[in-house]
């Protein structure tokens, strides 16, 4: 397991009880390098949306646990935030709650000379997703999906 994955798994285990105690959902944890800086980001959500105060409460409790455990060797910036309107679909419950909603899919390999699709998520399983575009169903293999997220429709 690489360092990044190890940090994300350990950080996720630390923040999960904090998030659960507040009846929030832990959407994702990522450890990334941007420019010269490392970031540990936790994305949280709840019914009705996350507030800045929610993020601050979780961040303070999470920071205390991270300081006690001290397993991340590089200096990093901690961020706790909402996943935003165009969050990627990663977990089973992300797909479940997105049935019937518009999603955006980017593929690795072109399908009928296209790599970008916007349509309504009709169904999914471990191998594929089915979206409806202008009344036509399109099945896309999950192994060909580079990004799948809620579409931001005006």
Residue-level pLDDT at 154: 56
Residue-level pLDDT at 48: 85
28, part of any domain? yes
87, part of any domain? no
CA-to-CA dists, residue 21 to 15, 16, 17, 38, angstroms: 10, 9, 6, 28
Residues 57 and 103 in one domain: no
Q: Is the pLDDT of residue 153 over 70?
A: no
Mean pLDDT of 123-147: 96
Query: Could you list the residue range(s) of the whole structural domain that residue 32 is in?
Result: 3-81
CATH code at position 23: 3.30.300.70
Domains: count for the chain: 2
Say how far apart CA 98 and CA 121 lie, in whole Å: 7
Residue-level pLDDT at 88: 84
Residues 26 and 68 in one domain: yes
Q: Which of 77, 24, 76 is nearest to 51 (CA)?
A: 24
pLDDT digits (tens, 9 = 90+) for 38-87: 999 999 999 888 999 999 999 999 999 999 999 999 999 999 999 877 77
Q: Is the pLDDT of residue 90 over 90?
A: no
Residues 19 and 44 in one domain: yes
């Amino acid at each position: 397991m690489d360092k990044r994955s190890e940090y994300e798994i350990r950080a996720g285990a630390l923040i999960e009880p904090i998030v659960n105690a507040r009846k929030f959902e832990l959407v994702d944890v990522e450890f990334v390098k941007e420019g010269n800086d490392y970031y540990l980001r936790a994305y949280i959500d709840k019914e009705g949306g996350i507030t800045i105060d929610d993020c601050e409460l979780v961040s303070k409790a999470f920071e205390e646990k991270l300081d006690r455990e001290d397993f991340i060797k590089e200096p990093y910036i901690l961020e706790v935030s909402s996943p935003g309107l165009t969050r990627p679909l990663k977990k089973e419950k992300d797909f479940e709650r997105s049935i019937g909603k518009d999603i955006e899919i980017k593929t690795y390999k072109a399908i009928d000379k296209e790599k970008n699709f916007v349509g309504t998520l009709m169904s999914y399983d471990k191998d594929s997703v089915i979206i409806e575009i202008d009344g036509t169903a399109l099945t896309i293999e999950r192994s060909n999906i580079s990004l799948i997220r809620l579409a931001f429709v005006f």
